[in-house]
Amino acid sequence: MKNPELKAWCDYPEVDLPHAKDGPLSGLVLAVKDIFQVAGYPNGWGQPTRLAEAAPDTETQSVVQKMLDAGIEVKGKSQCEELCFSLTGVNQHYGAPMNGAALDRVTGGSSSGSVSLVSNGIVDVATGSDTGGSVRAPASYCGLIGLRTTHGRISLDRTMPLAKSFDCFGWFAKDAETYAKVGDVVLDDDVSSTPLRRFLGCPDLDALLLGDAEYMAYAPAAERVENTYDAEREFVPLPFDIMDAYWAFRKCQAYESWQSLGDWITTRKPDLGPGIRDRFEFGRGITHAEFEKQSGIRLAIRQKLDDMLGDDGVLVFPTVPSAAPLKSENEDTLQAFREQALQLLCLSGVSGLPQITLPLAEVYDAPMGVSLLGPRGSDKRLIKMAQDILA
């Protein structure tokens, strides 16, 4: 296995995948999260029972293929958390990948191997997926850029499904120029070219930071966004109860996850980690009537966020409540942190709006991200903002 100390690669034989020799991504090296099919590699989903039944794939996921056609070189598949139903980055079967920006802290998940490989400088780019926060949280924890794309904008063919109305393709990179190069390959142009220059802040969201140290780190980082454009944030109340958004997210995601993988879990009886098992059992117990009720709440929140942002608004807020949790934290502490983090992360998932996290803050000698939530379909404009702000 390559770089075994990182616990980030899947232990698969390396495959020599054809790629363009001259293209916009030539010279860059890619790791692919182990939920996307890549010809010649198995697709193990971070779960040994699944891996045992997974023959090498004969086709490559379409967006990964676009990147190959643009010249990127695939070096292998990266480890992920079991069935992607976690945010911590610890897989009971394969271990916890190393956070290159804070060695004593977790990477976050479920795109744990991908974010580890980029943060440790082993690859230039790595793919991730974001259902509940699995691009944004690990990017924040490891000091990287991570975009949760507008839901449905990028294809998820030949990809392990978790919760279909939440699942999104994403990727990691250390610098904005590399991030933008990938964005130009995998994203079509935004339908609108309206500049995003109306900045909003929300005290309800800022209050989800863990404490004073986090706020003192976040405040100047958020101001850097405004200062880049010589603008000021307008502070507004959130037009709904954040706990309504949180529970709509939790229940709809869990219900859909059981619909996607419940039959496989029931039939194969895999050895799932305690948190993973509990979350699937939670989804198993949600009725279709409750799912429909929460979907209605979700739709109302989506409309309120669309109205709030209009076609030029950007909501600036903390990506997660603090730096990555320490590896030494107990399970109860990690779970409490996860629940608070999801209150921040759920907005993009509930609404389907794009959100990019930028490595602008630091607390306890570790990275902490600042997020920009933009109007539907503003993905490439958010990436351009990242280039402006990080220049």
Q: What is the DSSP string of 343-367?
A: HHHHHHHHH---EEEEEEEEETTEE
Active-site residue among 33, 75, 174, 327? 33
Task: Express as a percent the part of the chain with pLDDT over 70.
Answer: 100
Q: What is the mean pLDDT of residues 206-211?
A: 98
Report pLDDT digits (tens) over 26-75.
Answer: 999 999 999 999 999 999 999 999 999 999 999 999 999 999 999 999 99
Active-site residue among 86, 111, 134, 322? 134
Give the start-to-end residue ranges of the domains of the chain: 4-186, 198-242+287-390
Q: Return the pLDDT at 2.
A: 84
Report pLDDT digits (tens) over 127-138.
Answer: 999 999 999 999
Report pLDDT digits (tens) over 218-242.
Answer: 999 999 999 999 999 999 999 999 9
Residues 6+ positions from 112 with CB-CB distance below 8 Å:
8, 79, 80, 81, 89, 90, 91, 96, 97, 106, 138
Please tell me the pTM assigned to this model.
Answer: 0.97
DSSP class per residue in 277-340: HHHHHHHHT--HHHHHHHHHHHHHHHHHHHHHHTTTEEEEEESSSSSPPBTT--HHHHHHHHHH
Catalytic-residue membership of 134: yes
Q: Return the pLDDT at 331.
A: 87
- Of the candidate CATH numbers 3.40.50.150, 3.90.1300.10, 3.40.50.300, 3.30.465.10, the domain formed by 4-186 belongs to 3.90.1300.10
On the question of pLDDT at 1 being above 90, the answer is no
Exposed, middle or buried, 222 (CB in 10 Å: 0-12/13-18/19+)? buried
On the question of pLDDT at 284 being above 80, the answer is yes
Question: 363, 213 in Cβ contact below 8 A?
Answer: yes
pLDDT tier, 119 (very low <50, low <70, confident <90, very high otherwise): very high
Q: How far apart, in whole angstroms, are the C-alpha atoms of residue 85 and residue 183?
A: 26
Q: What is the mean pLDDT of residues 87-95?
A: 95
On the question of pLDDT at 141 being above 90, the answer is yes
Task: Express as a percent the part of the chain with pLDDT over 90.
Answer: 98
Q: What is the mean pLDDT of residues 308-322?
A: 98
Residues 6+ positions from 263 with CB-CB distance below 8 Å:
none
Q: How far apart, in whole angstroms, are the C-alpha atoms of residue 136 and residue 139?
A: 5
> Where is 263: in which H helix or E strand?
helix 242-268
Q: What is the mean pLDDT of residues 321-332?
A: 95
Report pLDDT digits (tens) over 241-279.
Answer: 999 999 999 999 999 999 999 999 999 999 999 899 999
- Between the alpha carbon of residue 163 and those of residues 83, 134, 138, 251, 299, the distances in Å are 11, 13, 19, 11, 16
Active-site residue among 7, 75, 78, 110? 110
Report pLDDT digits (tens) over 358-380.
Answer: 999 999 999 999 999 999 999 99
Tokens read off for 54: 């997974």
Residues 6+ positions from 125 with CB-CB distance below 8 Å:
25, 28, 29, 30, 31, 67, 72, 118, 171, 172, 173, 178, 182
Mean pLDDT of the chain: 97
Q: What is the mean pLDDT of residues 130-158?
A: 98
Catalytic-residue membership of 110: yes
Give the CATH class of 198-242+287-390: alpha beta
